[in-house]
Amino acid sequence: MLSDIFTFNIFHFGLIFARMSGALFVMPGVSAQFVSTRIRLLLALMLAFVLVPIVSANFPPFPIHPLELMILIGGEILVGFFFGMLMAIMLSAMQVLGTIVAFVSSLSNAFSFDAVSQSQGSIISTFFVNLALVVLFVTDMHHLMLTAIVDSYSLFEPGKMPPIGDFTQFVARTVADAFKIGVQLAAPFLLLSFGFQLAMGLISRLNPQFQIYFVAMPAQIMFSVLMLMFTVSGIMMVFLTYYQKGLIRFLEP
């Protein structure tokens, strides 16, 4: 009797660990390569250990066939990966914003290493992504991320086939929303660039001998930096609201 209870709890622990591992594999702030794999593994183990008595009430019985067990574990990993990927996609709105701002401010060729995406990107894009990630953790938004994963057991119960089609449609819609938010947040810089380019065009037509290029680029960078100083706090507030709304819809009512 004792051995049956012990095996049953280990089975629940393994299912929860599979979903947590899938989520932490791509979750922003935890999935970066500068975070040790041992730290991620330890965090997944701790979360699984805490959640065993909370979410394991409606878990399926231990499957008899090994193939059924593999399918069950694979489905849990897929659900966790889906939630972690959604969080990463929503964060990519800041990368879209940074790319547009760098383009309109003549800083698109200034590259720096982005520690989050582990790739080279424009310096403005790296700034926005890292700032957004810091703000998410400072405002305890990572608690909401973990809560969304825990409440996912009320939406996707273990033992049932994950809705692959719905996952695909939701990911596509999230990508579109993230791109839309990024462009909307970059609207002040687009307007500034349009007005600045119009003014430089008028000056060059009124005074053709004026070397407009040597004045336009430094002035464009200066005005973009000034615009960034005045709008960065508002941009972060709008992004936090967008990110919070994106996570709240997964929470159990």
Give the number of domains in the chain: 1
When pLDDT is cut at 50, 70 and 90, the band that residue 112 belongs to is low
Q: pTM for this structure?
A: 0.84
pLDDT digits (tens, 9 = 90+) for 159-204: 788 888 888 898 899 999 999 999 999 999 988 888 888 888 887 7
Look at 205 and 22; give whichever has higher pLDDT: 22
In a domain, 236, yes or no: yes
Q: Is pLDDT at 1 greater than 50 in this prediction?
A: no
Whether residue 150 has pLDDT greater than 70:
yes
Confidence category of residue 114, pLDDT binned at 50, 70, 90: low
Residue 253 falls inside a structural domain: no
Q: How confident is the model at residue 118 (pLDDT cuts 50, 70, 90)?
A: low
What is the predicted pLDDT for the residue at 148?
87
Residue 40 is assigned to a structural domain of this protein: yes
Domain membership flag for residue 56: yes
User: For the chain, what is the mean pLDDT?
Assistant: 83
Residue closest to 131 by CA, chosen among 28, 227, 248, 251: 28
Distances (CA, A) of 148 to 108, 143, 208, 227, 247: 36, 9, 60, 35, 6
**Half-sphere CA count of 39, side-chain side, radius 13 A:** 8
Residues 207-220: tens digit of each pLDDT: 777 777 777 778 88
- Of 128 and 209, the one with more pLDDT: 128
Whether residue 125 is predicted with pLDDT greater than 80 in this model: the reply is: yes
Reduced 3-state DSSP string for 31-82: CCCCCCHHHHHHHHHHHHHHHHHHHCCCCCCCCCCHHHHHHHHHHHHHHHHH
Read off the pLDDT of each residue in 84-94 and give the average, rounded to a whole number: 90
219 lies in which domain range? 2-248
